[in-house]
A and B are shown apart, each in its own frame.
Chain A
Amino acid sequence: MAIEARNVTKRFGEFVAVDDVSIFVESGSLTALLGPSGSGKSTLLRVIAGLEVADAGDVFISGKEATALAPQKRGVGFVFQHYAPFTHMTVWDNVAFGLSIRRRPKNEIRARVAELLELVQLTGLGGRYPAQLSGGQRQRMALARALAPEPEVLLLDEPFGALDARVRKELREWLLRLHDEMHVTTIFVTHDQEEALELADSIVVMNEGRVEQVAPPRQLYDEPANAFVMSFVGPVNRIGNTWVRPHDVELRLEPNGSTHEAQVERIVRLGFETRVDLVRDDGQQLHAQLTRDEVEVLELARGDIVYVRTKRAKSFA
Chain B
Amino acid sequence: MTVSRRTRYGIRVFSLGYLALILVAPVGLIFWRSFDHGWHPFWAAVSNHDAVHALKLTVEVTAIVVPLNTAFGILCALAIVRHRIPGMGLVNAIVDLPMALSPVVVGLSLYLLYARDGWFGSWLLGHGVRILFALPAILLATAFVSLPFVVREVVPVLREIGIEQEEAAATLGSSAFTTFRRVTLPAIRWAVAYGVVLTTARSLGEFGAVSIVSGGIAGRTQTLTQYVQASYENFSLTGAYAASVELAMLAIATLLVMTMLKPRRGGHIGNRGA
Residues of A within 8 A of B (CB): 49-51, 70-74, 76-78, 80, 82, 84-89, 97-98, 101-102, 129, 131, 142, 145-146, 148-149
Contacts and interface: CB of A to CB of B under 8 A. Distances in A.
Residue from A76, A98, A101 with most neighbouring chain B CB atoms (10 Å): A101
Across the A-B interface, the 8 shortest Cβ-Cβ residue pairs: A84-B164, A98-B172, A78-B171, A131-B268, A84-B168, A71-B170, A88-B186, A101-B174
A114 B187 CA distance: 26
Contacts of A131: 268
A213 to B, nearest CB: 29
Nearest to B171: A78
9 contacts: A50-B170, A70-B170, A72-B173, A74-B171, A78-B167, A78-B171, A80-B168, A87-B165, A98-B173
Given A84-B164, A87-B165, A101-B182, A146 B171 contact: yes
B269 interface: yes
Contact of B174 (A49, A85, A97, A142): A97
A245 B172 CA distance: 44
A106 to B, nearest CB: 17
A299 B164 CA distance: 56
Interface majority SS on A: helix, strand, loop or mixed?
A: loop
Contact of A86 (B165, B173, B178): B165
Contact of A102 (B167, B173, B186): B173
A218 to B, nearest CB: 33
Residue from A71, A89, A142, A149 with most neighbouring chain B CB atoms (10 Å): A71
Contacts of A145: 168, 172
B183 interface: yes
A76 B268 contact: no
B164 A97 contact: no
Interface majority SS on B: helix, strand, loop or mixed?
A: helix
Nearest to A131: B268
Contact of B169 (A50, A88, A97, A102): A97
Contacts of B173: 72-73, 98, 101-102, 149
Given A84-B164, A84-B167, A101 B268 contact: no
Given A51-B170, A80-B164, A87 B175 contact: no
A22 to B, nearest CB: 23
A145 B183 CA distance: 14
Contacts of B169: 86, 97
Contact of B171 (A76, A85, A86, A88): A76
Contact of A97 (B172, B187, B269): B172
A17 B175 CA distance: 28
Nearest to B270: A87
B187 A88 contact: yes
